[in-house]
Amino acid sequence: MKLSIGIVGLPNVGKSTLFNALLKKQVADVANYPFCTIEPNVGIVPVPDERLPVLAKIVKTDKIVPAVVEFYDIAGLVKGAAEGQGLGNKFLSHIREVAAIVHVVRLFEDQNVAHVTEKIDPPSDIQTIESELILADLETLNKQKRSRMDATKAQLATEAVAKRLAGQLNKGISARNISLTDEEKTIIKPLNLLTLKPVIYAFNVSDKQLENKKNTEEKIAKWLHGYMAISHPTIRPSNDSIIFNAKLENEILTFAEEEQKEYLKQYQLEDTGLNRLIKKSYEILGLISFLTAGTIEARAWTIKKGTLAPQAAGVIHSDFEKKFIKADVIPYQEFVNCGGWAEAREKGKVQSMGKDYPMNEGDVVEFKVGS
C-alpha cells in the first residue's frame, strides 16, 4: 500500500527545509517569503530498514527494495485559506489525498525569517491551521446534495452522518475527535475530510531549544494540552508530536549513518527527524512491514496491522490474493539465526499458515499461490 504524508503549516515555519532534509537533497525552493512553494513538491523517500541488507546477504541477492513514503510539501496556509486567502483552496485540495498530515509548528526565533503573524505563538498557529481545515471540511459537507423523497437508504445514511459531523465541526471540533462507528467512517470516507486524517505535530526548534530538549518537550506538552483543552474540552489531548531542527537535519545530510547517530546523541536524539517521523507515521496509521527474501530481491512491504495473509499477498500482486493457497512464515530474527530458508525448514521453524493468519511485524514470508 502507498503511504502518503502531507506537510502543512503557516508560511516560513520550516516546511520546505524539512522537506529538503527528508529527501536528502534540495528539491524545494526555500525562500524567506510566504507562498514560495507554488506547486506541491512530491518526493518518494525510502523507509530505513536495517533488516533488508541482512536478508539480502543471507539469500545472496544484490537487489534491496525498501518500503517507501510519499511526502507532499504543501504551500503555507494562512488565516482565510478556506475562503481563498493566500493560495487558498487550491492547496487545501492537495491534502485530501494523503493518509496523514504532518503539521510543522515554528518554535525557533530568527529575526531574519519573518513570521506571518509577526510573533512566535505555537498554540495560535495550531489553532489557525486547524480552523482552516475545519472550514474547508464544512464547505465539503455543505456541498452534499440533500436527499430527495425517493432517496435510498445509503443516501439517507450519508446525509445523517454529514449533518452530525457538520454540527460538531461548527463547534470547532475536528472530525478525527468525533466519535464515529466503523459504519459511519465507511460512509463518510469518500469525502476525504481533512480533519479526519491523523495529524503529527512537528515542532521546528532552535539549537538552544534542542540543547534544552527536556524543557522544550515539557513546554510543547503544555501547549498541546492547553490547545486541546480550549478547542476540544471533552477530547483526550494528542501526544503525536516530534521535535526537530530543520537546519540541523540538512547539515548532517553529508554524514555517514553512524556519524549522524553519533552527532545526534549530543542532543539526546536517537535518530534523525526523517526516521522518527516515519516511525511516528507508521504508529498513528497502524502500519507494519512484512518482508520477502529470495534470489531476486529482499523487500519490505507496508500493510495495516491485522491484515490477513491473503490480503498481504495481494499487496504484492492482486492475483496472489485470488489464488492464495498458504503462507510460509518465519519471524525475521529466527530467519537470520537459521541463515536462510533451507535450514529454517530443516529445523521446523517455518510455519505454513492459512487464510485466517494475521501478519506480524517483521514476518519473513513466502506465499504459495495456485496457477
pLDDT band at 38 (very low <50, low <70, confident <90, very high): very low
pTM as predicted? 0.84
Whole-number Å distance between alpha carbons of 101 and 6: 5
**Residue 94 belongs to a domain:** yes
Whole-number Å distance between alpha carbons of 341 and 336: 9
**Residue 346 belongs to a domain:** yes
Q: Are 104 and 8 in contact (CB under 8 A)?
A: yes
CB atoms within 10 A of CB 285: 17
Cα 107 to Cα 96, 218, 222, 276, 325, distances in angstroms: 27, 13, 14, 19, 54
Residue-wise pLDDT tens digits, 280-332: 999 999 999 999 999 999 999 999 999 999 999 999 999 999 999 999 999 99
Q: 14: annotated binding-site residue?
A: yes
**Residue 296 belongs to a domain:** no
Looking at the fold, whether 235 and 350 belong to one and the same domain comes out as no
Q: 336: annotated binding-site residue?
A: no
Looking at the fold, whether 56 and 104 belong to one and the same domain comes out as yes
Domain with 54, as residue range(s), is: 4-285
**Residue 291 belongs to a domain:** no
Over the range 60-71, which residues count as b (16 or more CB within 10 Å of their CB) and which as e?
ebeeeebbbbbb
Whole-number Å distance between alpha carbons of 6 and 315: 23
**Residue 131 belongs to a domain:** yes
Q: Are 299 and 316 in contact (CB under 8 A)?
A: no
Looking at the fold, whether 218 and 130 belong to one and the same domain comes out as yes
Q: 354: annotated binding-site residue?
A: no
**Residue 290 belongs to a domain:** no
For the cut 70, the answer to whether the pLDDT of residue 147 exceeds it is no
Q: Which helix (H) or strand (E) holds 14?
A: none
Looking at the fold, whether 70 and 195 belong to one and the same domain comes out as yes
Looking at the fold, whether 237 and 317 belong to one and the same domain comes out as no
Q: 15: annotated binding-site residue?
A: yes
What CATH number does the domain containing 109 carry? 3.40.50.300
Looking at the fold, whether 233 and 344 belong to one and the same domain comes out as no
Residue-wise pLDDT tens digits, 338-351: 999 999 999 999 99
Looking at the fold, whether 167 and 275 belong to one and the same domain comes out as yes
Residue-wise pLDDT tens digits, 206-264: 989 998 989 998 888 888 877 666 655 544 445 688 999 988 888 887 888 888 888 98
Looking at the fold, whether 363 and 224 belong to one and the same domain comes out as no
Cα 31 to Cα 164, 250, 273, 330, distances in angstroms: 42, 15, 21, 50
What's the structural domain count of the chain?
2
Q: Give, in degrees to the nearest 5, the angle at Cα 286 between 281 and 287.
A: 75
For the cut 50, the answer to whether the pLDDT of residue 66 exceeds it is yes
**Residue 234 belongs to a domain:** yes
Residue-wise pLDDT tens digits, 77-135: 555 544 544 444 555 666 788 999 999 999 887 666 656 666 778 888 888 888 888 88
Cell readout for 153 is: 437508504
Helix spans in the chain (H): 15-23, 51-59, 89-95, 122-142, 153-169, 182-188, 207-211, 213-231, 246-251, 257-264, 273-285, 309-316, 318-322, 332-338, 341-346
